[in-house]
Amino acid sequence: AKKTGRNNFCFFNRQMLELAHQRMQLGNDLHDALGKGQLEVFYQPIIDVVSGRVVKAEALLRWRHPEWGMVPPDRFIPIAEETDLIQEIGAWVFREAADTVKRWNALSANQGQRQISVNMSPRQFTRGRGEQIIINYMQAYGLDPAHIAVEITEGLLLDNCPGVTQKLEKLRAAGIEISLDDFGTGYSAMAYLKRFNIDYLKIDQSFVRDLETDPGDRAIAEAIVVMAHRLGLKVIAEGVETEGQYALLAEAGCEYVQGYLFAKPMPVEAFLAFVNADAQK
């Protein structure tokens, strides 16, 4: 038994070493990825429940690694966050999104509530001046800030990091809306909802997945919508994959839906073709 134990330990160690090695290599490669044009922003349509039309989209980062192919963001964003590369990458994602929303606007006159949201890591607020970079760029670029939204997570609000309230207020004062992403997954200490002014709650896909079969998930999703509305927030449901989920969310009063049922995240040209076809419907 002892021997097995030691073997397991060795095996475990070797795996850990390999993982650490891979991580280090990814970290090194990531440094050059932006300059080498390996990073790409995909866009996933967000549908307005009432009109059934695409009115928003989320910008989602992709990395085409020359050896490993598509590396999912969950694998490399944490590395970017540790190394502060996230500041540079985050600013680049934002510029790409701004450019795309401008192209989307040019497709048709009916610009309505059209908006692209970008994900921002806590570190872009706590260690960088992510909010100021965005505001400066919007002004220089001459883009109406209503066309851009920022997605943050509960962790940022709970960190109690000095200045975060002011930074978020600064964004809102500049006309940029704020979405609270992955709502209900992390800490669920909801007192912060009173302290911070946000515009949207995104119901996490973990509550959407079993909506049709799990009465508990359904209760949570419905309660989130009621609470959000009472607080003056709109609701976006993520990870909507079936008509049944869509129907339940619409019935609950959810304003926007996003998920594979409508479209997967896609490269910019495919996205613009998609919204163009949607506008012609």
Write out the residues near ligand C2E by the rule CB under 6 A: 44, 60-61, 72-74, 77, 90, 93, 119-121, 181-182, 205, 238-241, 258-260, 265
Contact between 119 and Ca ion by CB under 5 A: the answer reads yes
Q: Using the rule CB under 5 A, give the single segment among 48-56, 81-89, 100-108, 117-125 that binds Ca ion.
A: 117-125
Transcribe 18-32 into DSSP letters. HHHHHHHHHHHHHHH
Provide the minimum distance between the beta carbon of 151 and ligand C2E in the complex, in angstroms, as a whole number: 6
Provide the minimum distance between the beta carbon of 168 and ligand C2E in the complex, in angstroms, as a whole number: 16
Tally of helices (H runs) and strands (E runs) in the chain:
12, 9
Q: CA end-to-end span of the chain, whole Å?
A: 67
Comparison of 179 and 233: residue with beta carbon closer to ligand C2E: 179
Query: In 3-state terms, what secondary structure has residue 97?
Result: helix
Comparison of 10 and 78: residue with beta carbon closer to ligand C2E: 78
Query: In 3-state terms, what secondary structure has residue 66?
Result: coil
User: CA 197, CA 192: separation in Å to the nearest integer?
Assistant: 9
Q: Which does residue 128 bind out of Ca ion, ligand C2E, none, counting CB within 5 to 8 angstroms by kind?
A: none
Provide the minimum distance between the beta carbon of 146 and Ca ion in the complex, in angstroms, as a whole number: 19
Contact (CB, 8 A) for 97 and 59? yes
Q: H or E element: which one contains 138?
A: helix 130-141
Provide the minimum distance between the beta carbon of 201 and ligand C2E in the complex, in angstroms, as a whole number: 13
Instruction: Look up residue 183 and give its DSSP letter.
Output: E
Contact between 29 and Ca ion by CB under 5 A: the answer reads no
Instruction: Look up residue 161 and give its DSSP letter.
Output: -
Query: Tokens 């260690």 appear where?
Result: 127
Positions in 153-182 near Ca ion (CB under 5 A):
181-182
Contacts of 277 (CB under 8 A, 6+ apart): none
Q: Which two tokens stand for residue 198?
A: 């946000």
Q: Which does residue 239 bind out of ligand C2E, Ca ion, none, counting CB within 5 to 8 angstroms by kind?
A: ligand C2E
User: CA 57, CA 278: separation in Å to the nearest integer?
Assistant: 13
Comparison of 93 and 168: residue with beta carbon closer to ligand C2E: 93
Comparison of 100 and 119: residue with beta carbon closer to ligand C2E: 119
Q: Which does residue 267 bind out of Ca ion, ligand C2E, none, counting CB within 5 to 8 angstroms by kind?
A: none
Comparison of 120 and 135: residue with beta carbon closer to ligand C2E: 120
User: CA 59, CA 102: separation in Å to the nearest integer?
Assistant: 14
Strand pairing class (177-183; 148-153): parallel
Positions in 123-152 near Ca ion (CB under 5 A):
151
Comparison of 5 and 35: residue with beta carbon closer to ligand C2E: 35
Provide the minimum distance between the beta carbon of 9 and ligand C2E in the complex, in angstroms, as a whole number: 33
Interface residues with Ca ion (CB under 5 A) are 119, 151, 181-182
